[in-house]
Structure 1
Amino acid sequence: MVNLTPIMIEGQPFTAVTVKLPKTNFMAVANDHGYIMCGALDVALLNEKLKERGIVAGRAVGVRTIDQLLDAPLESVTYAAEDLGIKVGMSGREALLKMMK
Structure 2
Amino acid sequence: MLIEQIPLENGCALGLRFEMQKYPLLVIRAEKGFLMCGYLNVSAAETLGDVAVKVKGVQSFGDMLKATVVEVTKFARELGVETGMTGREALEKMF
The TM-score range, normalised by the shorter chain, is over 0.9
What displacement does 1:11 show? 5.3
Q: Which has the larger radius of gyration?
A: 1
Residues 9-88 of structure 1 correspond to what in structure 2 (within 5 A)?
9-10=8-9, 12-47=11-46, 50=47, 53-88=48-83
Normalising by structure 2, what TM-score? 0.93
RMSD, matched Cα: 1.2
Q: What are the ranges of 5 or more consecutive residues in structure 2 without an aligned counterpart?
A: none
1:32 and 1:11, CA in 2 relative to 1: closer, same or farther beyond 3 A? closer
Q: What are the ranges of 5 or more consecutive residues in structure 1 without an aligned counterpart?
A: none
One-letter code of the match for 1:10? E
One-letter code of the match for 1:75? V
Contact 2:69–2:85 under 8 Å retained in 1 = yes
Normalising by structure 1, what TM-score? 0.88
Q: Percent identity?
A: 32
Query: In structure 2, what is the Cα distance between the partners aligned to 1:10 and 1:83?
Result: 20
Contact 2:27–2:37 under 8 Å retained in 1 = yes
Query: In structure 2, what is the Cα distance between the partners aligned to 1:63 and 1:84?
Result: 24
One-letter code of the match for 1:15? L
The runs of at least 4 consecutive aligned structure 1 residues that moved more than 6 Å come to: none
Q: Provide the aligned length of Structure 1 versus Structure 2.
A: 95
